[in-house]
Chain A
């Protein structure tokens, strides 16, 4: 335990609590087969996995947004850098925004070298996350297929495969016969409206249980001393002479030398509170899930031309996602047009699932930037950092973004892996365009 100079503290000493509970709560029990058996026999309640504590007046850092980005940032700050006097505040509940509304697909087959490098780091972290957090996040490496229905997309697939291989990421273009072998239910014949010409096959891609990722990070961060404050809405961000001094919430004022905006959907409105305008337009993205059936779809299937992606969870439900709604909105209600269009497109790919019923549908908010790449790092306001603009691919980036943001908070230096995604790129004209690989239908 020692006192160190905060990088954003400008001479202010920060008390950094190393590894530590410091009497801030009892360490939760480790999950194992043995503890499961013991609890099963004793019929005892499991202890709460994170604490509910009063808001303090001062923290070394305040993170806005208790989703995968905010919680991962807090976890890596505490575990890697020993900065645990951190509050994660959220106006709703843990994982109630985009982190719990996405379709939980992981992949790293992006188009720009910066993007591929970054998302590959995230896939690596996800792969060992269950062991790191002592929480079963149900990562399943299923393989990921992006279908090409025309020459243009086939050309982009080849381009992506080559960029991926150069970065050491496993991706290749495969023919319709091989697609049929991977997904026997797929209609790869040439008489469909959009015949399948080939696909980008990305074996390391897969799915994960997104709620478990949020809860796992929350539990692990809490165990290290981080405070998670749900139902705590940030109403204003205080700045003084160009640097951030704290936030005001519906539960009182907090002073902090570092404030990190890790919100999705509300990113531009939260940043506006600090006087930092962001080039973001918020669009809803709708998703749906069917009733559970026996496992028949091993891989994740994505079709840009048909604006749809499908995967089957371990529970057997088919999870469908689409492109973002074609207008800016903060509405999280589903629409009939969406379900109708989605069903039509899915049936073009897999006519045999026509009898399956949709169980529920929902929407999440996507902050779309002009180049479909995120905005991470410093802003013109000292100490006010952003990890925003994640569009349709924020969940799969969570661990790598959290790791990089934690390093930035702790050292004050922007890590190389996120340098290309800074806010200044819009001013300096060096956009990192992921339009061709960010999601479907942009």
Chain B
């Protein structure tokens, strides 16, 4: 079941204008079809082009081998009630998807401020291939990450987790989580394909929605 939450702005990089997008909780057949018929062929095309031009697939986050690992991990989820999925739609298309966990082993803080405190863990935050600056030359919508992370922080407050969230950033996105969102970089996680693990601690979450977030505490 998919329920609209609100209308949010996304910036169209081509026109330079903000457009209205809809933030949904839940996913439906249209979203699955968009991923299958619009996202997937573009990934395939881009992989083919990259292979021809000698580009490194890992640098554009287009490796299939990398994906197989995660595919099994998501498919193995046994209790969908511990999860929430959020969708961003704009222009009749699925622009981004986020899957979060509200409980379980990954939902304990590793931050020195509050070890083992409960948090919302972002299993994945995926933007459509046409919105990715490293994948396409002229990406379309900007702001998907900001909207979805804000939604995760919001959910964390709703679930009485003080705004704490955790996630593993994909290569190329680390700066977004550290410099742009002020999350704490807790280093490479050897048990998670070496991806860097980031947390938004409660101290940062309290100021997250203020116009000027305070810089990360050293």
Q: Do A and B come from one complex?
A: no
Give A contacts to B, CB under 8 Å. none
Give B contacts to A, CB under 8 Å. none
